[in-house]
A and B are shown apart, each in its own frame.
Chain A
Amino acid sequence: MPLRDHKTTPKRPVFLDLRRIHFPPSAIASIAHRVTGILMILAMLPATWLFALSLSGPAGFTRAGDLLTGLPARMAGLLLALALAHHLFAGIRYLLLDVDIGISRITARRSALLVMGVGVIAGVGLWLGLWA
Chain B
Amino acid sequence: MSGLSAWLIQRLSALYLGAFTVYAVIRLSLADSWTHAAWSAWLAAPLNAVTLWLAVLALLLHAWVGGRDVLLDYVHPTGLRVVMLTLLAGWLLGSGIWFGAALLEVM
- A interface residue numbers (CB < 8 A to B): 34, 37-38, 40-41, 44-45, 47-49, 51-52, 54-58, 60-62, 65, 84, 88, 91-92, 95, 98, 126, 129-130
Contact, CB under 8 Å: B88 / A91: no
**Does more than half of chain A's interface fall in helix, strand or loop, or is it mixed?**
helix
A37 to B62, CA, bound (A): 10
A47 to B59, CA, bound (A): 13
Sort A-B residue pairs by CB-CB distance and give the 6 closest, nearest first: A61-B36, A52-B102, A44-B95, A58-B36, A48-B95, A129-B29
Across-interface contacts of A56 in B (CB, < 8 A): 102
Whether A52 touches B25, Cβ cut-off 8 Å, given contacts A45-B91, A91-B14, is no
A115 to B36, CA, bound (A): 37
Of the candidates B36, B66, B98, B105, the one having the most CB atoms from chain A within 10 angstroms of its own CB is B36
Interface string of B35-53 (1 = CB under 8 A from A): 1110110010000000000
Whether A55 touches B40, Cβ cut-off 8 Å, given contacts A37-B67, A44-B95, A98-B11, is yes
Q: Which among A38, A45, A49, A58 is the interface contact of B67 at CB below 8 angstroms?
A: A38
Whether A38 touches B102, Cβ cut-off 8 Å, given contacts A44-B95, A45-B94, A130-B29, is no
